[in-house]
Structure 1
Amino acid sequence: MNSSQNEFFKSQVLGHPTGLFVLFFTEMWERFSFYGMRALLVLFLVSALGIGGWDWPRENALALYGTYLALLYLTPIIGGTLADKYLGNRLAIIIGAVIMTLGHASMAIESNPFFLYLGLGLLVIGTGFFKPNMTSFISILYKDFPEKKDGAYTIFYMGVNAGAFLGIMLCGYLGEILGWSWGFGLAGIFMLLGLLQFLFAQNIFGEVGKKPNTANKKIEADDHTEIEDKLNPFTLIDKILIAVIATAGLTWVINDPLSKIGEVNFLEFGGTDYSGHTILVTLILFVFLLGSRIIRYSRITRDKMIAVVIFAFFIIFFWASFEQAGGSMSIFAKDYTSRILSGNSALIFNIIDIIITVVPIGIITYVLFLLFRQTYKKYLISNLILAFSFILIWGVVIWKIYNNFNTYSYEISYKTYQVTATNDVGEEVTKDFAITAETKIPENAMIIDNTTVIRSANDFVKNDKISIIDLDKKGVNYKFLTAEQADLITTNIAATIVKKKENEIQIPATWFLILNSLFIIAFAPLFSKWWESKYNPKPANKYAIGLFFLAIGFAFLAYGAAGIPQGAKTASVSIIWLIMAYLFHTLGELCVSPVGLSYVSKLVPPRMIAFMFGVWYLALAIGNKTSGKLGSMIDDITTRYDISTFFLIFTIVPIVIGLIAIALNPVLKKLMHGVK
Structure 2
Amino acid sequence: MSEITSNNDFFKSKVLGHPSGLFVLFFTEMWERFSFYGMRVLLINFLTMAAIGTNPGWEWSSENAGALFGTYAGLLYLTPIAGGIIADKFTGYRWAVVIGALIMTLGHASLAIETEFSMYFGLGLLVIGTGFFKPNMTSIISEMYKDLPEKKDGAYTIFYMGVNAGAFFGMMLCGYLAEKIGWSWGFGLAGIFMLLGSLQFWLAKPLFGTIGDVPKKDKVVEVISPDGQIDITEPKAEEKPEDKRNPFTMLDKILIVITSIIGLLYLIDDPASKIGNIHLLPQEFLVSKEILPGSLVITIIGLVLFLFLVISRIARYTKVVRHRMVAVIIFAFFTVFFWLSFEQGATSLVLFARDFTDRTLMGNQAVIFNIVNTLLTVIPLALVSWVLFLLFKQTSKKIATSNIVLALSFLGVWGIVGWMLNNDYNSKAYELKYQAIKTAQIDKKTKKQAVDENGDLVFDFNAVTETTVLKPTDVVVDQTVTISSKDVLKVSDKVALHSEIGNFVYLTKGLETKIRDDYKKATKDSQIINAEVTQLKENQVEVTASWFSILNSFFIIAFASMFSKWWDSKYNPSAAVKYGLGLIIMGLGFAILAYGARVIPSGAEAGAVRVSMIWLILAYLFHTWGELCLSPVGLSYVSKLVPSRMIAFMFGMWYLAIAIGNKLAGSLGGMIEGITKEYDMSTFFLIFTIVPIVAGFIVVALNPVLKKLMHGVR
TM range (shorter): over 0.9
Match of 1:388 among 408, 413, 417: 408
Which residue number corresponds to residue 357 of structure 1?
377
Post-superposition offset of 1:168: 0.8
Match of 1:475 among 503, 506, 521: 503
User: Contact (CA 8 Å) 2:431, 2:537: kept in 1 or not?
Assistant: yes
Which residue number corresponds to residue 139 of structure 1?
142
Matching of residues 185-264 of structure 1 within 5 Å: 185-216=188-219, 218=221, 219-222=233-236, 225-226=239-240, 228-264=242-278
| Alignment partners' CA distance in 2, 1:479 and 1:116 | 29
Stretches of structure 2 lacking an aligned partner (at least 5 in a row): 222-232, 450-458, 521-525
Q: Secondary structure of 2:236's match?
A: helix
Which residue number corresponds to residue 69 of structure 2?
65
1:448-484 Cα shifts (integer Å, max 9, x gaps): 7655443221011223223345x22212567644366
| Alignment partners' CA distance in 2, 1:40 and 1:445 | 41
Post-superposition offset of 1:225: 4.5
User: Contact (CA 8 Å) 1:172, 1:510: kept in 2 or not?
Assistant: yes
State how many pairs are aligned: 674
| Alignment partners' CA distance in 2, 1:449 and 1:117 | 46
User: Contact (CA 8 Å) 1:220, 1:602: kept in 2 or not?
Assistant: no
Which residue number corresponds to residue 458 of structure 1?
487
Q: Secondary structure of 1:410's match?
A: strand
| Alignment partners' CA distance in 2, 1:346 and 1:142 | 48
Farther-moved stretch of structure 1 (422-431 vs 128-137):
422-431
Matching of residues 94-105 of structure 1 within 5 Å: 94-105=98-109
Which residue number corresponds to residue 119 of structure 2?
116
| Alignment partners' CA distance in 2, 1:662 and 1:461 | 63
Which residue number corresponds to residue 4 of structure 1?
4
| Alignment partners' CA distance in 2, 1:54 and 1:446 | 35
| Alignment partners' CA distance in 2, 1:508 and 1:192 | 26
| Alignment partners' CA distance in 2, 1:136 and 1:477 | 49
| Alignment partners' CA distance in 2, 1:41 and 1:166 | 17
Match of 2:530 among 474, 495, 499: 495
Q: Secondary structure of 1:460's match?
A: coil
User: Contact (CA 8 Å) 2:218, 2:235: kept in 1 or not?
Assistant: no
Change (3 A) 1:425 1:207: same
Residue 541 of structure 2 is aligned to residue 505 of structure 1: yes
User: Contact (CA 8 Å) 1:412, 1:495: kept in 2 or not?
Assistant: no
> Considering only aligned residues, what root-mean-square deviation do their CA atoms show, in Å?
2.5
Which residue number corresponds to residue 56 of structure 2?
52
User: Contact (CA 8 Å) 2:357, 2:612: kept in 1 or not?
Assistant: yes
| Alignment partners' CA distance in 1, 2:393 and 2:494 | 57
| Alignment partners' CA distance in 1, 2:431 and 2:579 | 49
Which residue number corresponds to residue 338 of structure 2?
318
Post-superposition offset of 1:427: 7.3
Residue 332 of structure 2 is aligned to residue 304 of structure 1: no
Post-superposition offset of 1:405: 1.2
Q: Secondary structure of 1:674's match?
A: coil
Match of 2:16 among 11, 14, 18: 14
Post-superposition offset of 1:128: 0.6
Which residue number corresponds to residue 543 of structure 1?
579
1:559-594 Cα shifts (integer Å, max 9, x gaps): 101121111133211111111100010011011111
| Alignment partners' CA distance in 2, 1:655 and 1:453 | 42
Give me the TM-score of the superposition, normalised by structure 2: 0.90
Change (3 A) 1:450 1:12: same
1:497-525 Cα shifts (integer Å, max 9, x gaps): 34332121111111111110111001011
User: Contact (CA 8 Å) 1:88, 1:213: kept in 2 or not?
Assistant: no
Which residue number corresponds to residue 157 of structure 1?
160
Which residue number corresponds to residue 551 of structure 2?
515
Match of 2:281 among 251, 267, 270: 267
Post-superposition offset of 1:605: 1.1
| Alignment partners' CA distance in 2, 1:326 and 1:515 | 13
Change (3 A) 1:247 1:530: same
Change (3 A) 1:442 1:115: farther
1:18-43 Cα shifts (integer Å, max 9, x gaps): 10000000000000011111111111
| Alignment partners' CA distance in 2, 1:586 and 1:563 | 26
User: Contact (CA 8 Å) 1:566, 1:643: kept in 2 or not?
Assistant: yes
User: Contact (CA 8 Å) 1:252, 1:279: kept in 2 or not?
Assistant: yes
User: Contact (CA 8 Å) 1:47, 1:472: kept in 2 or not?
Assistant: no
| Alignment partners' CA distance in 2, 1:223 and 1:538 | 28
Match of 1:38 among 37, 40, 43: 40
| Alignment partners' CA distance in 1, 2:269 and 2:474 | 42
| Alignment partners' CA distance in 1, 2:219 and 2:433 | 65
Q: Secondary structure of 1:561's match?
A: helix
Letter in structure 2 aligned against 1:527? F
Post-superposition offset of 1:127: 0.4
Change (3 A) 1:276 1:412: farther
Stretches of structure 1 lacking an aligned partner (at least 5 in a row): none
Change (3 A) 1:262 1:437: farther
Which residue number corresponds to residue 603 of structure 1?
641
Letter in structure 1 aligned against 2:657? A
Change (3 A) 1:403 1:287: same
User: Contact (CA 8 Å) 1:468, 1:481: kept in 2 or not?
Assistant: no
Post-superposition offset of 1:266: 2.5
| Alignment partners' CA distance in 1, 2:390 and 2:282 | 60
Post-superposition offset of 1:236: 1.6
Change (3 A) 1:480 1:227: farther
Q: Secondary structure of 1:319's match?
A: helix
Change (3 A) 1:506 1:669: same
| Alignment partners' CA distance in 1, 2:123 and 2:410 | 27
Farther-moved stretch of structure 1 (558-567 vs 424-433):
424-433
Change (3 A) 1:425 1:587: closer
Q: Secondary structure of 1:389's match?
A: helix
Percent identity (aligned): 57
| Alignment partners' CA distance in 2, 1:279 and 1:163 | 36
| Alignment partners' CA distance in 2, 1:416 and 1:243 | 62
Match of 1:82 among 71, 83, 86: 86
Letter in structure 2 aligned against 1:621? A
| Alignment partners' CA distance in 1, 2:477 and 2:572 | 62
Residue 626 of structure 2 is aligned to residue 563 of structure 1: no
Letter in structure 1 aligned against 2:197? G
